[in-house]
A = this chain, B = another copy of it.
Amino acid sequence: MHKRVPDVVVLRLAAYRRALREFPAGSERVSSGALAARTGYSAAQVRKDLSLFGQFGQPGVGYSVVALERELVRIFGLDRERRVALVGVGNLGSALLAYNGFREAGLRIVAAFDVDPRKVGGVIAGVPVRHVDELEGAVAGENIELAMITVPAAAAQGVVDAAVRGGIKGVLNFAPAVVRVPEGVMLRSTHLGAELERLSCLVNLSLAGRDEL
C-alpha cells in the first residue's frame, strides 16, 4: 500500500460507491463492465482503479456488491464515525448542518462555531453553536478530525490556524480565500461560485465551436 493515489481516482471511487448503493436490491455480483456502464467510465479503468487497493474480484465471476462497497467505505475511511466541526453558521453553514447525507456516510458534525452572540448558545439541526474561541480546545479535546470552514474570506485563515493548532487532520474550506495549512494537514478548497463559473466557462467554450470538454 505505497502507491500514490491521484485525485481523479478518488473522484471515480466515489462514483463507484454511489453506483453500488443504487444497485437493484438483491444484486449479489457486479462486473467491472456493469459498474462502468453505470458511471460512464471504462471497464478497464474500474479494474485498474480498484487494483490500486487490492484484489476484490473473482476472475470469471466479478465483484460481490456488498463486499466491494465495504472495501470502498474502508478506503474512504468511513467505516468508523469521523467527528467534524463546522465554523461559520451563516446560510451555507446552516445548509451543511441540515444536510442529512453526512450522517449516513459516517461523517458527524458534532460542533458548530460562530462569533455572533445571537447565534452562540443556540442549537441548529441538533448541533450546539459555540463561540469560535473554543474551536482550538474542542478540536484538541473532543476527537474532532475534520473542519468545514464557512466564514467570510477575511476570517478564514485565522480559524484554519486555530483548528490546526488543535490538531485538525483535514480542512474543507468554502471561503473564497487562499488558506495555508502545514504539511500533513489535508486541505480542500472550493466555494459556491466556483462550480457555476466553471459551468459558464464550459458553456462558453462549447458555444465557441470547441470540442466538448
Chain A residues in contact with chain B, CB under 8 A? 1-7, 10-11, 13-14, 18, 22, 38, 75-78, 82, 84, 90-92, 94-96, 98-99, 101-102, 105-107, 145-146, 148, 169-172, 176, 178, 183-184, 186, 188, 190-213
Give the chain B neighbours of A198 by CB distance below 8 A: 10-11, 14, 188
Does B4 lie within 8 Å of A193, measured CB to CB? no
Q: A172-B195, A203-B77 are in contact. Are A211 and B101 (CB under 8 A)?
A: no
Does B210 lie within 8 Å of A1, measured CB to CB? yes
Give the chain B neighbours of A191 by CB distance below 8 A: 101
Does B76 lie within 8 Å of A10, measured CB to CB? no
- Give the CA-CA distance A78 to B18 in the complex, in Å: 33
CB distance from A6 to the nearest CB of B (A): 8
Does A169 lie within 8 Å of B203, measured CB to CB? yes
Residue of B nearest to A11 (CB): B198
Q: A94-B91, A146-B196, A196-B148 are in contact. Are A170 and B202 (CB under 8 A)?
A: yes
- Give the CA-CA distance A184 to B196 in the complex, in Å: 17
The main secondary structure of chain A at its interface with chain B is: mixed
Does B195 lie within 8 Å of A188, measured CB to CB? yes
Does B102 lie within 8 Å of A98, measured CB to CB? no
Does B84 lie within 8 Å of A196, measured CB to CB? yes
- Give the CA-CA distance A160 to B90 in the complex, in Å: 28
Give the chain B neighbours of A209 by CB distance below 8 A: 1-2
Q: A5-B210, A6-B213, A75-B205 are in contact. List 18 more A-B contacts (CB 8 A).
A: A4-B213, A5-B205, A10-B198, A18-B178, A77-B204, A77-B207, A84-B196, A95-B95, A99-B193, A102-B196, A106-B200, A107-B200, A169-B203, A169-B207, A170-B199, A170-B200, A172-B195, A172-B199
Give the chain B neighbours of A207 by CB distance below 8 A: 77, 169
- Give the CA-CA distance A37 to B107 in the complex, in Å: 34
Does A101 lie within 8 Å of B193, measured CB to CB? yes
- Give the CA-CA distance A190 to B196 in the complex, in Å: 11
CB distance from A173 to the nearest CB of B (A): 10
CB distance from A211 to the nearest CB of B (A): 5
